[in-house]
Chain A
Amino acid sequence: MGKLIAAALADIREALRLRAVWIALASEDIGDQHKRTTLGPFWLLLNYLIFIGTFIVVFGGPAGEGLFAAYAATGLFVWFYIMDILGQSAALFVREESFIKGTILPLTTYVLRLTMQSVIRSGYALIGCAAILLLMQVPITATWSWSIVALGIIILATPPTILILALIGAFFPDMQFIMQNAVRVGMFLTPTFWGFDEVVGWRGVLYHWNPFTYFLEIFRQPIVFDTVPVFALGFCLVVVLVLWAIAIPLLGLFRKQIAFMI
């Protein structure tokens, strides 16, 4: 086990040393996806604004309208990021097959490439989120700094999540379609735009037992309610540690076998 962990850590260290590679490739990926369009990557911002605009118009009521918009905007921002990661991870190693079988880049490079892509995409959504918060005149307080901490925790949870799903996807190709459907349904089962008022009954169960709730709340609560979500922060940190504790041995075990599995 010690050897596997050492090999995994060496893979991660090497990928971090080669950060110029995955940063460049991720930037090219985003550029290529919108190469021929007029708006370019600003389609990512428009996409977010169309979604949030629809939610605010359909679900926003007159009472606390501004606060609901902020609630939904921050919730949707985090959910878009989660959706991007969960939807794309399972097929990662299959997409990267030619690189995996043709170069000696560490496996973590591909994980960080996808992480970087999602962070860049989220950057555009963040512009939209910030614009809505400004528009709704949500007061900026020192508590907002906890939302920055939250973003750090969410990003820390990303590489192990991608790695675990990508490995499952390499063994079980149906996983990518399961995940694509799961994230579509997940948006309605996660309190992205509901849960602003008191949640009772089944909604309460969904709210409290859905782990994604806490990843939304650690970013959302400091901004919208000016409170520090201590429990949610602790929960998310534990999840991050558990994910890494699972991902590191898996990386050590499969990093050289993945070329034969895809």
Chain B
Amino acid sequence: MVSISARNIGLNYRIPRKLTLAPRDRRMAAGGRIESSGSGRIVKALEGVTFSLRSGDRLGLVGPNGAGKTTLLKVLYGIFEPSAGELHIDGRVDALFNITLGFRTEATGRRNIELRGLINGWTKQQIAARMDEIIEFSELGEFIDMPFKAYSQGMAARLAFSVATTLQPEILLMDEWIGAGDAGFQDKATARMDEIAQKAGIIVLASHNQSLIEQTCNKVLRLEKGRAGEVLPIGEYARD
């Protein structure tokens, strides 16, 4: 059964002082709170985050910039290892963080589907089997054999969304999904997200767009400076 269980998840990391002759260290923490220590700075990116999700749940992560939404998504995906707490995830996870990540500007859309599929851990057979479906869903038509650099931002987003959702991930993590393409495609995309959630899946979506959260999610978790509140049903969140 697809599920996510997070119990007191914390993420602290140290930003060591860089050995450099440059005037200052320009690396900034992505979010959370910063504490100084002798040999550098410690970022408390997440603290005491607790929630559990079951099949069919669509969780919206909300909060101001630097609240820890993206960091939490990256912990759920496995990019960051939590430094405290327990995290149990059952289900195949896919993520849509950066829509152009892994896309080659000189390669065609078709070749980019192959590359993105490989990066997602698909086999060549899985990619070949889903190629036509991805192209059809992305509505790119003959553009699929054009170089990616010829695509508009909307076309790129449609292709990325199509690749990320075609393999029917059991758990889909999305960051600042701004809506791929025109209104027609957004309807299709929303329908597909519903389909994923209905097929015993979980969606976690981080966004500043309140209407998107209300339209897509059934639960909301508010983050503030790396600390999480309680998970609220969407109705209760919308009333607030």
Q: Chain A contact residues (Cβ within 8 angstroms of B): what range?
A: 20 to 34
Closest to A256 in B: B81
Complex contacts, A130 vs chain B, CB 8 Å = none
Contacts A28-B107, A256-B81 given; does A172 touch B101 at CB 8 Å: no
- B residues 78-105 with Cβ under 8 Å of A? 78-81, 95, 97-98, 101-102, 104
The answer to whether B19 has its CB under 8 Å from any CB of chain A is yes
Q: Do B97 and A102 touch across chains, with their CB atoms under 8 A apart? A: yes
Mask, A172-201, CB within 8 Å of B = 1, is: 111000000000000000000000000000
Question: In the docked arrangement, what's the CA distance between A28 and B119, Å?
Answer: 14
CB distance from A112 to the nearest CB of B (A): 13
Question: Is chain A's binding surface mostly helix, strand, loop or mixed?
Answer: helix
Closest to B21 in A: A174
Q: Do B118 and A99 touch across chains, with their CB atoms under 8 A apart? A: no
The answer to whether A13 has its CB under 8 Å from any CB of chain B is no
Question: In the docked arrangement, what's the CA distance between A44 and B106, Å?
Answer: 20
Q: Do B79 and A103 touch across chains, with their CB atoms under 8 A apart? A: yes
The answer to whether A63 has its CB under 8 Å from any CB of chain B is no
Question: In the docked arrangement, what's the CA distance between A32 and B104, Å?
Answer: 9
Question: In the docked arrangement, what's the CA distance between A101 and B21, Å?
Answer: 26
The listed residue (A31, A102, A171) touching B79 by CB distance below 8 A is A102
The answer to whether B235 has its CB under 8 Å from any CB of chain A is no
The answer to whether A202 has its CB under 8 Å from any CB of chain B is no
The answer to whether A126 has its CB under 8 Å from any CB of chain B is no
Question: In the docked arrangement, what's the CA distance between A174 and B20, Å?
Answer: 6
The answer to whether A238 has its CB under 8 Å from any CB of chain B is no
Question: In the docked arrangement, what's the CA distance between A51 and B114, Å?
Answer: 37
Q: Report which B residues bind A (CB closer than 8 A).
A: 13-16, 18-22, 43, 74, 77-81, 95, 97-98, 101-102, 104, 106-107, 111, 114-115, 118-119, 121, 124
